[in-house]
Every structure is written in C-alpha cells, then in structure tokens.
Copies of this chain bind each other. A is one copy, B any other.
Amino acid sequence: MEVTNKFIAIKATIDGEPQECDFELKVEPFSLAVKPGSKDVIIKNIYVSIDPYQLNRMKSVSSSKKTSKFAPRIAPGEVIGAYGVGKVVASGNPEFEKDDYVVGIISWGEYSISQGFMGCWLSKLDPMGFPLSYHVGLLGFSGLTAYAGFFEICKPKKGEKVFVSAASGSVGNLVSQYAKNLGCYVVGSAGSPYKVKLLKEKFGFDGAFNYKEETDLDSTLEKYFPEGIDIYFDNVGGVMLEAAISNMNSYGRVALCGVISEYTDVGKRAAPNMLNVVYKRIMIQGFLGGDYMHLFPEFVSTTVDHIRAGKMHVLEDISIGLESVPSAFVGLFRGYNVGKKIVRVSNDLEDC
C-alpha cells in the first residue's frame, strides 16, 4: 500500500542561527509494504525529539576534523533522522511485529524506515504504563545522557556542590534532579524569570538565576557557590564555562554535554583559565550519551523508581503537528523551550 509521507527537510545548509524559512515541508510517495526479502521496519512516527545538536549536522562545513561517525551531515531536501517513538506498520525483521511500539532513530516525518540513520538504532518499547512521550525524553536518550554524564563522568558524592547550565533544558533538568536526589547542593542557570521560578519552586533547586540578567557571571557564581563548585554539568560552553572553571574547587569535574552558545557563533568560544585547570586539577570531559547504551537498563530502572516514588518530575514541552518542527527547532536557540522539546507528529490520539 502506498501513501504520501510528509517530512521536514532543510532547503540549504545552515550557518549561523537557524530560521523557520530555512526549512521546508516535503511530500513524497511512501510504501507501507516491506520489500520482499528485506529486513526493513516501516514505522508510523508518533513523537520526535527536537535537539540542538542537529544544527551541527546542517552546517556547510563539518565542525571538526577527525570526528567519529556520530552526527553525519544532513543534505538539503533529504529526510532528517531523529530520535523518537513510533509504531510498527510492517516489518521484515523478526524482532519487530506490526503494532509494536518502538523507540530509536526515526525521522522528522510521518513515517520512517528503520534503515540508513545513525546505525539504524531501534528497539521495541515497553511503555511501562507511562505516556509514550516520556520515552523520548526522561526515559529516553536525554535521560540516558543526563544519567551517564552525571554519574559516570562527574562521579558525584552526597553533599557536593553542583552547577548545571541550561538547567530547565532537556538534559540539564534531569541532571539537576538526579543531583538533588543524591543529596547535592544544586544551582542552575536558565534564560527567563519563568524558568528560574520553576527551577526553584517546582524542582527545589538550592538556587537558580537568569543568566541574561547577570553582567558578571564570575561574581554571580561566587555568590551562589561561596564554598566553590565541585561539579559543573555544562550544556552551553562560552563565558559560562569560563566562569565555572574560575569558581571550581580543586579536583572539580566538568561534564561537557553541549555548547549551545557556540553552535551559532564560534566567536563565543570559551577560553577558560587553563592555569586554573592545572592548579585545581580540574577534569573536563566531553561525552555523548550514545557511548553509554550499556547503562540503559540501570538508568531506566533507577529513573522509573524515582518517578514512582514522586522524586522525579517530567518537564516536557510538546508541540503538535509535523508542521511545528521548524519553529520548535529554531526556538531551542532562542530559549523558547521549557524542558524537553518534543513534537507529536501523529494525529492518532490513542497512541499518545
């Protein structure tokens, strides 16, 4: 059976801050039948993840030499692979059956085929009684990234002082909750008074500030961390990283998860005081959640326990309809999202 498949593509490569007009909605014929003999899985997409790193795949020049195959380039006009949850329409793969829920790399479109995207990673999903959207963020890749980055890289101890930037964002918010549950002192930065209020009142942060209102981040951090910072979970890079290094304690650890402030303007690159890094024996570790797939079962089990005990809360920001993908995406770079940004691309309400 052939249908049409709507999907979002870029019109041309994007350098600088993305605009909605950089994207287009395309329509192509799409077969819902598996080619005889293939192991394709045909998926009806339900929820797709909207993540800042995708911008680096849209640039005209690769942002670095000698990177691994992570985040291959996106060509104009092509389907864009993205993390999400969907339902199997047809399968040539014995591991999947029609009507199974799946999670993994699908696409910014109505339908996808589980081949050709970032190693084709796809798994059967047991929703465990939670809304499917939870499995895109909190119980999905954002959650794993937060869990692995915080526990494996930062090696936190109870009582340590933790700073999280973009703390109302998809990963930062979860790191902060893991840190609070462990008994750390947690301060976060965000980009609006509303977000700051949310962090303090809903999530019980020990402190939170709006970085846009601060003129001297070094002094700001000194005020919030009179005893210094032990762990910095960095999602933004730039001047915030410099200020955090300046305020770190000896043996401090920086988990470098993302540098969103540098994605659209390389002039903002952080130039931290490296003498500080030497004298304070600071470790700065870049990482990708995908390297920690072996922790997925442990991460899900721990996180589900926290949720069921009322000790972790979901912060989702869901837009409806495939057409909202471009605005959802460009909004990430303007700080419009509050929590995990997700687009529901299916109109079928029973699958939500």
Contacts and interface: CB of A to CB of B under 8 A. Distances in A.
B286 A283 contact: yes
B275 A68 contact: no
Interface stretch (A88-96, A181-189, A265-273, A333-341): A265-273
A241 B286 contact: no
Interface in A311-344: none
Interface in A191-247: 222, 228, 237, 241, 246-247
A64 B281 CA distance: 12
A284 B277 contact: yes
Given A228-B66, A283-B285, A269 B278 contact: no
A139 interface: no
A228 B68 CA distance: 12
A274 interface: yes
A65 interface: yes
A279 B70 contact: yes
Interface residues of A, number: 46
Contacts of A286: 274, 276-283
A286 to B, nearest CB: 4
14 contacts: A63-B276, A64-B246, A64-B280, A65-B222, A66-B248, A68-B279, A237-B274, A257-B278, A259-B275, A259-B278, A269-B273, A271-B271, A281-B288, A282-B285
Given A63-B276, A68-B250, A270-B274, 9 more contacts: A66-B228, A66-B248, A67-B276, A256-B274, A256-B278, A259-B275, A269-B271, A277-B284, A281-B287
